[in-house]
Structure formats: structure tokens, C-alpha cells
Amino acid sequence: MEAEKKASAVSDVGAWAMNVVSSVGIIMANKQLMSANGYAFSFATTLTGFHFAVTALVGLVSNATGYSASKHIPLWELLWFSIVANMSITGMNLSLMLNSVGFYQISKLSMIPVVCVMEWILHNKHYSREVKMSVVVVVIGVGVCTVTDVKVNAKGFICACVAVLCTSLQQITIGSLQKKYSIGSFELLSKTAPIQALSLLVFGPFIDYYLNGKFILNYKMSSGAISFILLSCSLAVFCNMSQYLCIGRFSATSFQVLGHMKTVCVLTLGWLLFDSEMTLKNIMGMIIAVIGMVIYSWAVETEKQSNTKITPHAKHSLTEEEFRLLKEGVENIPVKDIELGESKG
């Protein structure tokens, strides 16, 4: 039993580590690929289409070689999920274009309480006071270190709302689909990735043209740009896999809260690698955010342990009650009823 718990803990840490490393890596690679000082590949939506195309290819090879099994999920659920996921991606890109970076960061932070409310509405999930407090601490910490200027307009606000709602719903749906159809994280990703890839590659270039006024066919590819696109796509496979894996093993709320460790890592690496400014405000915010994540992890673990303690006690009381009833009533039960009971068993 102890060995199983240790193995599970190692798997949990491995899933989080994969997500943090791949997510931070892909942000760094995309920064070099898309920045004006890098290769100026400013086609974020189409690039996401490339990501899912490579992920779908890996899933296809995995199924063909028997590494993973393919389970049935109704096509309408896959299509609905893909539409929500693509609206999340498009909404985020539009929100970043139409709003200030400060408001964009606030909208991302709002996903934590939105996910909590959605899980309460959809799955009747309740949170302890300690979990709620830790979420507030994380939001404050990340807000302090990332939010600067805050400017918003009507169109940008609508896009931000759509992005937040769709992203939150997508992450909750990942977990619910895995439980509903008893399907693994990679198997689910293998089914959703082709639909997302096809739709993003068809509509992505037009969305990017609307965002930046440039068409991808007019972009002059270089060997350096191609190398970074391939690197970005490779990291995206691990990033997508680990996202589905983490949400399947934990919850959408945990993924959002602990996922802000990536924000801390990105700010730190930006300072180390790209000479980004690191102020006392950034440092204080990161410290507060990390403290909030530690409190959250402790609160969730405490909640799990208390639930584990309650469950055996309830079962023990039930067994004693059954034993008492049997002891008092077994002599009064006709033999015929006892025989019927044994034959039914």
C-alpha cells in the first residue's frame, strides 16, 4: 500500500514537472520565434494548429503501434469539445490584441475562481476554507508580479469573457470526459487533436490576418524559423499530454492554481535569458504566489486525509450495525427465508 502511494506521488510530481518544463520551454521558444528581435513569425493561431497536427500524428503512430488503445467517444462530444477549445485559443489571442497586457493577465487570473464556480455548478464540488484562502493568496501574488497597466474596451472585454469561460469549461471537460468514458489522458488527446488541428489550420491563417494584418503565405521561411517551429511543436506534444494528464489526475482548479508556477518560472527565465526587468514588486508577487501554492497543496492534502479518515469510520459503524441486527434477528428469521437469501447470493 505504501509502495503504491509512493509510486502515485512520483507520477504526480512527474506529470507536474513535465507540464511546467514543457510549458516554460514552449513560451521561451515562441518568444524567440515570434518576437521582432527573433524570427517575427506572428501567426499564433496557425502555430497552434501546427502544434495539434504534430500531436495528432504522434497519437496516430501510438495507436498504430499498439502503444495506446482507442476507445469510443461520440463524435458530437469531440466536436463540441474542439469548438470550445478553439474558441478558448482564439479568444485569448483576440483578448491580448484588443486589451492591455495588464487586463489580459487579470482575465487569466480570473480563471481560477471561474473554474471553482463552474465545478460547483456542474459537479456540485465544494471547497474548504483553507483552499479558498490559498486561491486568494495565489491570485494576489500573481497579480502583483504580472499586472501593470490596465486598459480595456467593449470588444476586448467580450473576447476576454469568452476566452475565460471557454478555457475554464474546456479544462473541466477534459477531466469529466476521462472519467465518463474511462479513457486515459493520451487516448483522449489523440481523439481531440486531429479535429482541433484541422479547424485551426483552416481558419487560423484568417484569424491571424485579422490580428496582425499579415498572411502566413507571404512570410519568408528561414532554416532558423523552421527549427524553432519544430522545437515549438515538439514541446507542444509534451505540454498537451501533461495538461490532460494533470487535469485527469487532479482537477481543473489544481491545474490552474499550481499552473501559475509557470508564470513565476517564465518571469525568472525572462530576467535571466532575455534581460527582462525584474523589480522588487515582481519578486514580492512571486514570493506571495509560491506561498499561496504551498498553502493550496497543504490544504488539498489535508482535505484528502480527512476524507480518508471519515470513510473507513463510516464503514466500520455500518458493519457494527449490520452485525447487531443480524445478532438480534437471525433467530427470528424462518429457515425458508435464509435458504432464499443464500440462493440469491
Question: Of 145-159, 205-219, 255-269, 321-335, which range is least confident?
Answer: 321-335
In a domain, 161, yes or no: yes
- Domains held by the chain: number: 1
In a domain, 340, yes or no: no
- pLDDT (average), residues 279-287: 81
Q: Which of 76, 44, 65, 85 is nearest to 189 (CA)?
A: 85
Take residue 279 and report the three cell numbers written for it.
Answer: 523589480
Residue 149 has what pLDDT? Answer: 63
Domain assignment of residue 133, given as a range: 10-306
* 147 has pLDDT over 80: no
pLDDT confidence tier of residue 51, bands split at 50, 70 and 90 = very high
Of the chain, the percentage scoring pLDDT greater than 70 comes to: 81
Which burial class, exposed, middle or buried, applies to 87 when counting CB atoms under 10 A from its CB (0-12, 13-18, 19+)?
middle
* First-residue to last-residue Cα distance in the chain: 30
- pLDDT (average), residues 93-118: 79
Cβ contacts of 111 within 8 Å, gap of 6 or more = 164, 167, 168, 256
- Measured at the CA of 30, the angle between CA 236 and CA 24, to 5 degrees, comes to 60
In a domain, 84, yes or no: yes
In a domain, 122, yes or no: yes
pLDDT confidence tier of residue 240, bands split at 50, 70 and 90 = confident
In a domain, 129, yes or no: yes
Residue 3 has what pLDDT? Answer: 63
In a domain, 5, yes or no: no
How many angstroms separate the most distant Cα atoms in the chain?
Answer: 90
* 195 vs 116, residue with greater confidence: 195
* 316 vs 234, residue with greater confidence: 234
In a domain, 279, yes or no: yes
- 276 Rama sector, left if φ>0, alpha if ψ -120 to 50, beta otherwise: beta
- pLDDT (average), residues 81-93: 89
| Average pLDDT over all residues of the chain | 79
Cβ contacts of 23-28, under 8 Å, gap ≥ 24 = 23/239, 23/242, 23/259, 23/262, 24/262, 24/265, 24/266, 24/269, 25/235, 26/232, 26/235, 26/236, 26/239, 27/262, 27/266, 28/266, 28/269, 28/273
In a domain, 317, yes or no: no
- pLDDT (average), residues 159-169: 89
Residue 243 has what pLDDT? Answer: 82
Cβ contacts of 204 within 8 Å, gap of 6 or more = 43, 45, 46, 48, 49
- Distance CA(229)–CA(117), nearest Å, equals 37
